Homo-oligomer: A and B are copies of this chain.
Amino acid sequence: MHEQFNFAIEVLGTIAFSMSGSFAAMQKRLDPFGVLIIAFVTSVGGGTVRDLLLDIPVFWMHDLLMCALIIITSVISMVFKSLEKNFKVTLFIFDSFGLGLFTIIGIQKGLNVGIHPLICIGLGTITGCFGGIIRDILLNRIPLIFRKEIYATACIVGGAAFLLMTKYTPLSYTFIQIFTILLIVAIRTFAVKYHWQMPKFYGYDQTSEM
């Protein structure tokens, strides 16, 4: 049941990431293949960077099912453009659960090959966030997560909680995992609901450039 739970979340998260990429690409008026590539990169980008850094096989190279899921989701997004408006909240929830799970997968893969836990938090954040960063680079805008949302912050807080609990509590792995995902979902939900934002460096002297 634990495996099936993870698989279900991974599918939902991948669908959400693929849709977020597709809609962002359509807003920039790309052609269908451009939309498809952006959807793909948004979905697999974070995990790909992680696997390259760890020098382990890139996960989607042997996962035809995941590739098909991304492509089908992207095509559906192009056909039913109204999905974005009507299912905005649903997509946000999928995206947050996906972010939570992807963060944990990233940490776990790092721990498996003997990386220090603190660096693993970075790997978890990369897994969760870099797909969106590459999407925004390809669409020629400053990555959204640097400006607008409590996104990386949720990964880092969730990842730290995950590591502390696995190390210092006797709780079961399944419980810790579910708790971490819910924590990340909660942080993101409250952040959006109450317009939490990290402070920015307004009023900075823009004339000096190194």
Footprint of B on A, CB under 8 Å?
A: 20, 23-35, 37-38, 40, 48, 52-55, 57-58, 60-62, 64, 67-68, 78, 81, 84-85, 88, 91-92, 115-116, 118-119, 122, 133, 137-143, 145-147, 152-153, 156, 197-202, 204-206, 208-210
Contacts and interface: CB of A to CB of B under 8 A. Distances in A.
A76 B33 CA distance: 34
Interface centre among A34, A40, A118, A156 (most CB of B within 10 A): A34
A54 to B, nearest CB: 7
Count of identical protomers in the assembly: 3
A153 B34 CA distance: 10
> Interface SS of chain A: helix, strand, loop or mixed?
helix
A67 B119 contact: yes
Given A24-B210, A141-B140, A55 B53 contact: no
A128 B41 CA distance: 16
A27 to B, nearest CB: 6
A26 B206 CA distance: 9
A206 B24 CA distance: 10
Contacts of A38: 146
Contacts of A29: 147, 200-202, 204
A123 to B, nearest CB: 9
A9 to B, nearest CB: 19
A64 B120 CA distance: 11
